[in-house]
Amino acid sequence: MVTKWTKKIALLSAAAVALAGLAACADTSEGGGSIDPVTTEKATSGEIVWWGFTPGSPVNEGYIEAFNKEYPDIKVTWKQTSIEDYDAAIRPALGNTEGLDVYQLSAGSANGGAAVFGPNAIDLSAAVEQSLGADWKDQLSATGVNALTIDGELKALAAGAVFSGTIFINQDLFDKYSLKAPTNWDEWKSVCDTFKKNKVGCFIQGAGQGAFNIDTVHAIADNVAPGNFVKATKGELDWTDPSLVKAFELWKKLFDEGIMQDGALGQMQYPEAHNGFMSGKYAMVMMGTWYLQFLSPDVMKAAMEGAGSTDEPFTMMPIYFPDIAGTGHTGSLFGDVDYGQAVSINSQNKGPATTFALWLGTSDAGQQAIADSLNLIPALKKITPDWNNVKLVNEAKQAEPTKALVQAASAVTDAPRFATINADMNQALMDALAEIAAGKATPQQAAETLKTQQETVG
């Protein structure tokens, strides 16, 4: 699969992108107040607390360090919650005037969804126009702008986008047992058989965390019939369409034939699946482009230590989801803005908070930091990773497929991940997939339930 990327996609230029100064504008007072970018100077001092759930340490601290090179007098404190706990934690915090200034918003039905938490944020439209000019919408990815705009107000500035449709493999384990990355069902089954004979876990997914199940089934559905999954989420295709029922059958097959690990429904993607892969106990994990950050030696080392491993970083490689439907439809990528920085309407530090949100989402320096971390596809269109500054565990093996995947994801224009799934359907999908996996509903029964739910909620 890596070779398909490299044949189809030209490698990104390795030339560095020149860093430019920030032209952002925000309230001058350390105490905050309304932002008037036309008449005020940008805040250059103060203290803010930044809440979020991704990507975590040490990446976020790296962003803050880069920010402080330009704004040394703005102290940023990063406060992280788990993905699962974020919504519950942030609700009461947003009602306070202290302890939260900037927070992460996501698209659609994802945690931190803009439809739910956007009303708690100020409109950043005028500040962005002051930062980038009247054509600011042309300079930023439409995916991020559209997903984070509510009733004409820009509620957050996208850091960048993430895409699913990939699996990551431990290349060192594959090499140890003379195995190749699977490209179809038979190869996948054979690979798993070999790993199991050698007492190595093959594939791991936290099927107890429903959002990632949606990712996997979306990848399978695109393998069966590209685009039909998104059509169903939009109400343009019944969930009982044979192509979607087939996708649900293949989802169940992952459990029935031992591709999915034992006890998957009782495990979470984070931390269990992540730790299982990072500790070397499993050779494959379902993850999207956000996982590219662990190609960095320092980031991987921290993750491995968190997983209880003292080994040296291993060679991790991305592959496309295998052609388990046997259709030849592979290479699907689908994604949304991962998160954006919103400024709380109750913040007493709106000036420095807006400066930080603008820097991370609109400045060359902030977006270059995002790009070079490999965690996101940058929101500022002109920015790409500076490969001269990106360190990889195994440059010889990882550089070419990593560049190709970033380029492929950057080229995706209309393949949403969660943006077209409302909250009711998101829950219905997670429930349906769990019931299929547990044998509590057949694929056809689950499809009929989803069709009824879609007709009910629209």
Mean pLDDT across 17-35: 33
Task: Calculate the average pLDDT of the chain.
Answer: 90
DSSP 246: H
pLDDT at 109: 65
Nearest to 106 by CA among 166, 47, 156: 156
φ, ψ of residue 418 to 5 degrees: the values are -120, -10
pLDDT tens-digit series, residues 231-279: 999 999 999 999 999 999 999 999 999 999 999 999 999 999 999 999 9
| Helices and strands per DSSP (H, E), number in the chain | 19, 12
Strand order in the sheet with 282-286: 201-204, 282-286, 166-170, 316-320
Q: Read off the pLDDT of each residue in 13-27 and give the average, rounded to a whole number.
A: 30
Q: What is the pLDDT of residues 401-451, one digit of tens each?
A: 999 999 999 989 889 999 889 889 999 999 999 999 999 999 999 999 999
pLDDT (tens digit, 9 = 90+) per residue, 294-349? 999 999 999 999 999 999 999 999 999 999 999 999 999 999 999 999 999 999 99
E strand residue ranges, 22-100 = 46-52, 74-80
Count CA atoms closer than 13 A to 403's CA, side-chain side: 20
Percentage of residues in the chain having pLDDT higher than 70: 90
pLDDT tens by residue, 340-372: 999 999 999 999 999 999 999 999 999 999 999
Domains of the chain (ranges, CATH numbers): 18-162+337-383 (3.40.190.10), 166-332+409-457 (3.40.190.10)
Alpha carbon distance 372, 326 (integer Å): 36
pLDDT in tens, 268-291: 999 999 999 999 999 999 999 999
